[in-house]
Structure 1
């Protein structure tokens, strides 16, 4: 060992001695600090975990108290009480009472996400009211919303006709179907309350609130996500209310989990911290299991600090060793450098270097291969993404062309034209059949039909809707004549006749009316659904057009999705889109329908409510204008003519959108001015980057970059460079500082970078620029 040590040159000896001396001291201090932090971190982490679990319990109990408060509010609701005690359930005037009650429920569902799925059963009418609809028979509601392993008779006996007082059904599988999408199954608990509240033996109504397991566990999930453990809630009978990851633990709940009573709230089992808290409100037991190493944050923090000190001390020791070695062996170092440069290819280190390059090359090769595999997987996902995009277009989830263009460009799909119409195809002869063989046969049939449609026109947008339906979008680039539309329909019928001849597939078609913008495609889709249903009802052959269906004229047309779209349009300040929506609503209600005076009043009142909602959202830049519009909206009288109403509402929309546009313009200008000011004040800082500027302004980097380019016509980085070079030219004119000093004063880390930038902007080097002044 001594002989080997002596073979090293003095440079290496001094380097190793200096490194070890500087390295050992912080290593010992860091290890001692780390060990002393373990006990403190463990005790404090247990306290914090119990406190977090208790906070989650309090939040959940508060939300459940709000649900109970909701049932108490229903108990004193005058309209509901009138329906409960009404002796004439078949009085036609009560239809409006039920409708008003349904709208009131819609307002409740917006106040608490625990109330997103509830209903009221009124025994007197034998009907069920939900926030979105009214079911005149409980059977219809049960078909769409039911518990697993519970028949309709059991559901009616145990839920509708039984007295409940703040009763909770433990976690069960619940199936919900809104009629538009596939049924959704989830684990949920159910809160039940009979009305009136004091109806112990003869309830007249019943409120049922279904709370999804995911909503119950929102607060507990934060603990699970933070520490990577599990969480669980059980009631007094040991029934599971909520569970996340507990099933995989294999723990015995009766012996290994703390009871939550005084003195038994936490324990360590198999390297995990188990904590339990029992609720004083309802007796529920809240339990969480956390890996011991996951919550030792304080110890890890000290470890990171220790590692940082160690690395810093090691680097400092390395620099000191290099300095000592250099000062004592400078002549020898020069000789060694020349020797290595000449003999390195033949030295023993050559093989090591080659191995390192091989290792790097191998990793780069693996990276390229993995990147290609990832690209292939993304390409494999494109059909699913495109299918989802078409479905979003059909259901109206897009509110602007910009959003549609952004999504379509990401998935590499092209929508030809801004107009067209939607058709809905149904494969006949499979109603009510859901065996595996039938589903496979339907899958093959859909594939045949879609392939034939795309061969007919590759620009069609085609997607499956359920097992026996296919939606087809016929886009058009320009305004198409009636003859062209009829020609397309003739080609479609010819194609379907060919499919029937070859494969014996009978198909019914519903055709919606033409849409003029892409985000109005949902209207044509809904019309195609109505046309298909009507065609199946009357047994029509071929294509059934929406215009041929029977229009219901008793109620006005103002679906909730159009109200939400109008609110989003006003919030975005898009006047033309708002005016188009208003024109469509007036056309549907006063050209296609013969509304009564009462329905006309209700429609105008709904429009007034929508505008008042937009005002209450505080989207205005000018508060005085907001108050003025609010007063004008309130005083709009339903007695005025239809044309006058349309003109008034379009005027309101223009004023609102103009104010929003002005507000957004002011915000953009203010942001750009803030960027100008920050660059002017901090351009000498070499760390001034787009990230730092965006952080100061409080906006995303991409937004700042695009906004600056739109407002000024040049990139932000180019403007920053111009400011620095302009200031550098002024300093060169003063002729008091060297070029290296000027480069530091204007924000460049190196004089070389400064010289390159100066020559690129001014066309000459800084030294030449200074000489021209002389």
Structure 2
């Protein structure tokens, strides 16, 4: 007797399906208004984010311009030219002008935003550009550097004569290098420490198209008008309809304004770095019009997708349970064991369905993982298991055709750091990155597995061994760029039969052992390289990288370690002859040259003659860098402490405020305090506020509410919670203790 098959009645399926469909309609109708509000809010946020991006990009470019102008005005040749008077014919003083002009061509190539630079001397009246020297500027002005609508006297009166520190001027057309260009003048007065002296000017002509291109970035479905003003409200440049440029009387943020009966959102943003203000005017009518055709389409697509997915889910549910249901139906009511011959077909189908589900979810069947674990741990008994494993990974693999097999082993060296700091996501991401890069490089002809020590093993096969070598190199090059972990990769020699694969794991282990003994990381090494003839001296690119890096960072301990490694490898492990010793000194001297160029220093040292000279040179450079770095860090530490002590009473004080006032990146200050002061901004501020609270309790007769406000807390509840967490008692209890002691 058979058990009946387990089927869901059609009427019951319909009863389950109809409420879901009705619920879908209800949700769509209720979501319409929410969607309208959400899209409008999103577009406003996109506009403000775009304005932030424009400000950040502009500030970054202008910061380079400010530094360039300061660098030029601090240049001795430029200063001599500005203070020099008129040059008589045949005078040797013309060399000063030539030297000053020689600086400018290089300066104009620093940033694509810079169209031209002019240096003006008030004493001589001369003007220098990157390509010309205007000794008679009034005569040369109309044909060489004329500004739209201005004669030379008007040009000089507007840009060169007034005494100011630094100023932007509105966008204008000017003759630059023989052609008319739209520019934004940025003028800086010389000298920097006394602008009132007004000895000269440096005029940077900024390519207005650079900023206009930024302003003209479009938001999908909307075309806002974007414009920039200086601190006084004068419009510098704009993109869009100039008729919609409003006044400057709006604070930073977003404001609803009405123009000719239509509503707009005005976004305003100021820059502390440049003093400029950025505005964007977005029409709400455009946003609403964008949603009109979208809503019916979205409704139809949602309903269609719901119906499609519902029918597909019902079909897959019935299909996935069919074989299991039929198998149960074959079981005798008495519970006797079912003959295997009758069940074998169902078992095969059920297993295949399970494996298919695992593959569709991005995993590998359990049996495949088991085979591979047996391979890398030396438990596999023969090639039959390898064949079975490969057929599970690639169904159409032809094991009779010639194939090249290789094994790859990726070791994660800082795995303990991740485990102890609860950063397991980084380990898992490393595995995912290896999986995705392997898929790109090797297609279906690979198998990847992470073992119990968090090492990644990859088995590869291909008909062309040279192609496989090329793809392995490409794989590691791309993988190392995205992996957050410190890794090294070992590659076995090429295997041309399944019998040879068993030795591949041992070869990878030997390579990893050699890398470990040499303390090499972030490197790929093949097993075939272990038997290659070594150079007479040992100074690898990795050694050079570590040596230069330790000097640049001023890390004496790391520098001494790499110097000891070089000494151990070349003077203890090897017996270098005179020629080999000289070659080692030459390559170390080449490193010294590159290091000096990076530090912009003149290398007075000749070729090293002894390793003692090598150590003395690199240690002295690292010491100088470390001293300069320590002094700079200490100044910033004291500045941070002073700032917090001066502003702690402000309830709105945060790291962003301090970063803005300092003109530094918030992320830089965060990591600086963590590494140099071993605390965060919030922790230091909290500690100092509570210390001030203790002092006020002891010094003055103040209420808790007064102390709360005086110490920068927004409310008494926050103050009580912080006080109790730090001192283990409520402020009121501590106040009573202080009063009792005074009595």
Q: TM-score range by the shorter chain?
A: 0.3 to 0.5
Between 1 and 2, higher relative CO (CA 8 Å, sep ≥ 6) is seen in: 1
Structure 1 length as normaliser, TM-score? 0.34
Structure 2 length as normaliser, TM-score? 0.36
